[in-house]
Amino acid sequence: MSMTPEQLQQVRSMPLFAAIPDDKLSCLEPGQIIEAPVGTALAIEGETNNLFHLLLEGEVRITRAYERQTVLMRVAKAGTYFGEIMILLNIPWLSTVRATKPSRLFQLDEAGFWRMMTHCHTIARDVFMAAATRMRNVEGYSQQREKLASLGTMAAGLAHELNNPAAAARRSAAHLGECANKAQALLCKLSRSLTADHWQFLLNAELNAVGNMAKAPPLDHVARSDREQAVAEWLESRGVASAWNLAPTFVTAGVETATLAEIAGKLPANAQADILAWLEVRFGLKLLISQVEQSTGRIVELVKAIKSYSYMDQAPVQEVDIHEGIESTLTMLGYKLRNVTVVREFDRSLPRIAAYGSELNQVWTNLIDNAIHAVNGSGRICIGTCRDFDHIVVEIVDNGAGIPAEIQSRMFEPFFTTKSVGSGTGLGLVISNAIIVNRHGGEIEFESHPGETRFKVRLPINQPIAPSPENKSGHS
């Protein structure tokens, strides 16, 4: 349907077409005017419609999805055009465009767009310049979002990993107070029945049991259940209250009925029930203290890992051990790796190299996270390192379905992603490639077929490090 003279005049009044000469007006003829009520979706992120729009009246809202969060990119007013990037690059829409006010738009299909670009060079120049600027802005914004996404992944991993030891330490600390009170009460009660020799015997028995506890092999579920039943029945026969509650502590401490019988045989019969209860509390205290030490030790390890991952309090360029960076990254992604088999094939003799440590860790995060996604969180990932003459090589291999051959050539294209809309920016590999190639003088490549995808990163051992683009002195 051709535009009326009034519609053509309105289109021509827009800044993009203001300078178009009369003899070039035919380049606009394939277009049409459309009405967009409030809520109309003119484009959907991830879909392809190959339409160019110029907003004549009204207002549209342009948004992108990032990790299930909708982010406002901009609000477009009359005179704004959009859709040229998707046609020029032949890619799906990078964002969703929706009318927020009753709107009128000039619309061209793909053929009409190219006819306009071919027949009117002034318009083509303006469109190309605007597209280049928008691409830089979108890519810059998306890179920041990608960095934030990596930070979010790291924070989520740290939160998951810290939660268990912190909760365990808190539970143990609470139980420690209860056990201490119970031990104090039993101590006061037994002080009237036991002599100094009795106490010395008990303390020696406790020390022996604690020493044996450290050497005792772990028990399977059936063996533990059988021992707990035997100990509980023996305690009940001696008149010990809550025998079934006390038995697990003795079994965990590696104390069996024979040891309990030996201890009881050398102590006053009228106090045996209280003695055994006190002994169980003492073992419980030792176990709880051990649990607190293990939990807080795990927290210390995690804090150390996060400092190593982020290279906190260190200069941007350091002498780094590749393996330390990979290990700290695996720690950060631990909550995603619970059902994944991780195989390490490291050459520990590799030298340290000068590098932007935190940026390399971002590369490892992207590649390992992609591998986890490829195996659906329950496959096998092999990480290997080796030396190839004057380069260090890092390989990350997964046994997922593989990357389809028809899209392999696009894996390093900006905004191209195999993940669902909103779960990836399409810049992870682009950023990783820039870090490896531009910042470290290395290279990154991959090969993939069903059942195996292999990413290979090559880093020179002796290579001047490129300074940060934000600061030519090399400080980020």
- Domain ranges, ordered by start, for the chain: 5-119, 157-301, 311-460
Q: pTM for the complete prediction? A: 0.50
Q: Average pLDDT, stretch 333-348?
A: 90
**How much is the pLDDT for 475?**
35
Q: 380-388 and 341-345: which strand pairing?
A: parallel
pLDDT-wise least confident of 78-87, 151-160, 201-210, 275-284: 151-160
**How much is the pLDDT for 152?**
63
| Banded pLDDT at 368 (limits 50, 70, 90) | very high
pLDDT-wise least confident of 1-10, 133-142, 370-379: 133-142
Does the structure show a pLDDT above 60 at 330?
A: yes
**How much is the pLDDT for 453?**
94
Task: Please determine, looking at this structure, whether the domain spanning 5-119 carries the CATH number 1.10.3210.10.
Answer: no
Q: What does the alpha-carbon distance between residue 447 and residue 368 come to, in Å, rounded to a whole number?
A: 15
CB 436 within 8 A of CB 363: yes
CB 12 within 8 A of CB 25: yes
Shared fold status for 5-119 and 311-460: no
Query: In 3D, which of 209, 213, 201 has the Cα closest to residue 265?
Result: 201
Q: Which amino acid is at 159?
A: A
| Banded pLDDT at 421 (limits 50, 70, 90) | very low
Within 10 angstroms of residue 249's Cβ, the number of other Cβ atoms is 22
The mean pLDDT value of the chain amounts to 82
Does the structure show a pLDDT above 70 at 352?
A: yes
**How much is the pLDDT for 80?**
92
| Banded pLDDT at 181 (limits 50, 70, 90) | confident
**How much is the pLDDT for 313?**
52
Q: What does the alpha-carbon distance between residue 475 and residue 311 come to, in Å, rounded to a whole number?
A: 13
pLDDT digits (tens, 9 = 90+) for 34-43: 999 999 999 9
**How much is the pLDDT for 145?**
62
Q: How long, in residues, is the chain?
A: 476
**How much is the pLDDT for 473?**
36
Tokens, residue 55: 């907003």
Does the structure show a pLDDT above 70 at 470?
A: no
Q: What does the alpha-carbon distance between residue 276 and residue 206 come to, in Å, rounded to a whole number?
A: 11
Q: What does the alpha-carbon distance between residue 226 and residue 249 come to, in Å, rounded to a whole number?
A: 14
Which residue reads 């932007």 in tokens? 356
Query: Can you name the CATH fold of 311-460?
Result: Heat Shock Protein 90 (3.30.565)
pLDDT-wise least confident of 5-14, 94-103, 252-261, 423-432: 423-432
The residue among 217 and 184 whose pLDDT is bigger is: 184
Does the structure show a pLDDT above 60 at 426?
A: no
Does the structure show a pLDDT above 60 at 383?
A: yes
**How much is the pLDDT for 184?**
85
| Banded pLDDT at 431 (limits 50, 70, 90) | confident
Query: In 3D, which of 287, 191, 202 has the Cα closest to residue 246?
Result: 287
Q: What does the alpha-carbon distance between residue 413 and residue 47 come to, in Å, rounded to a whole number?
A: 17
CB 16 within 8 A of CB 81: yes
**How much is the pLDDT for 102?**
95
**How much is the pLDDT for 262?**
81
Q: Average pLDDT, stretch 50-61?
A: 94
**How much is the pLDDT for 311?**
57
Does the structure show a pLDDT above 50 at 341?
A: yes
Four-point Cα dihedral 469, 471, 473, 476, nearest 10: -90
Tokens, residue 190: 């037994």
| Banded pLDDT at 68 (limits 50, 70, 90) | low
409-415: long-range contacts (C-beta < 8 A, 24 or more apart)?
A: 411/446, 413/91, 414/135, 414/139, 415/91, 415/94, 415/138, 415/139, 415/142
Tokens, residue 314: 């260190």
Q: What does the alpha-carbon distance between residue 196 and residue 285 come to, in Å, rounded to a whole number?
A: 22
The residue among 139 and 256 whose pLDDT is bigger is: 256
Return the HEC string of the chain: CCCCHHHHHHHHCCHHHCCCCHHHHHHHCCCEEEEECCCCEEECCCCCCCEEEEEEEEEEEEEEEECCEEEEEEEECCCCEECHHHHHHCCCCCCEEEEEEEEEEEEEEHHHHHHHHHHCHHHHHHHHHHHHHHHHHHHHHHHHHHHHHHHHHHHHHHHHHHHHHHHHHHHHHHHHHHHHHHHHHHHHHHCCCCCHHHHHHHHHHHHHHHHHHHHCCCCCHHHHHHHHHHHHHHHHHCCCCCHHHHHHHHHHCCCCHHHHHHHHHCCCHHHHHHHHHHHHHHHHHHHHHHHHHHHHHHHHHHHHHHHHHHCCCCCCEEEECHHHHHHHHHHHCHHHCCCCEEEEECCCCCCCEEEEHHHHHHHHHHHHHHHHHHCCCCCEEEEEEEEECCEEEEEEEECCCCCCHHHHHHCCCCCCCCCCCCCCCCCHHHHHHHHHHHHCCCEEEEEEECCEEEEEEEEECCCCCCCECCECCCCC
Does the structure show a pLDDT above 60 at 425?
A: no
Query: In 3D, which of 421, 412, 419 has the Cα closest to residue 63?
Result: 421
Q: What does the alpha-carbon distance between residue 179 and residue 288 come to, in Å, rounded to a whole number?
A: 9
pLDDT digits (tens, 9 = 90+) for 269-306: 788 788 888 888 888 888 888 878 877 877 777 776 66
Does the structure show a pLDDT above 70 at 315?
A: no
